């Protein structure tokens, strides 16, 4: 059952670093990506933005805009829950780690600079055990 209580959400985040390196790319049409697994995407005025495996971006010859580690918060957060994104973005920001967030139907997904992914996991796990981080 989805959780809405912020304190419970933070204590139950259980962040997991997914294996691999992920690339943010922008293409004119989603058709360009039909042969690869798209992790996340959105249509923007400038083009179709997507997150795909770095190896797929390279094999397709696409310019890579950002290389990221992909962290999934395994807690089943309610899409109408208030404050979770602000809480983890603030904690990561205090550590100097940028984050790009995608909300799925069941979980939040955080993309952080690949070279800071392990550190980001530590920050998030610290939030679970230390109130007011």
Q: Which residue has the tokens 């980001």?
A: 120
| Distance from C-alpha of 67 to C-alpha of 95, rounded to nearest angstrom | 19
Q: What is the mean pLDDT of residues 28-45?
A: 96
Structure tokens at 28: 């004119």
The pTM score is 0.92
**Model confidence at 131, in pLDDT bands (50, 70, 90)?**
low
Q: H or E stretch including 63?
A: none
pLDDT tens for residues 68-112? 999 999 998 888 888 999 999 999 999 999 999 999 999 999 999
Domains of the chain in start order, with CATH, are 6-128 (3.30.2130.10)
Rounded CA gap, 121 and 125, in Å? Answer: 6
């Amino acid at each position: 059952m989805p959780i809405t209580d912020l304190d419970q959400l933070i204590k139950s985040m259980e962040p997991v670093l997914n294996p691999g390196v992920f690339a943010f790319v922008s293409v004119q049409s989603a058709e360009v990506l039909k042969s690869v697994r798209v992790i996340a995407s959105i249509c923007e005025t400038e083009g179709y933005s997507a997150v795909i495996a770095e190896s797929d971006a390279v094999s397709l010859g696409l310019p890579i805009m950002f290389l990221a580690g992909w962290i999934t918060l395994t807690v089943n957060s309610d899409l109408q829950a208030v404050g979770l994104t602000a809480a983890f973005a603030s904690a990561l920001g205090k550590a100097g780690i940028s984050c790009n967030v995608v909300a799925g139907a069941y979980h939040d997904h955080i993309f952080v600079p690949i070279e800071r992914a392990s550190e980001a996991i530590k920050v998030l796990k610290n939030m679970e055990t230390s109130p007011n981080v």
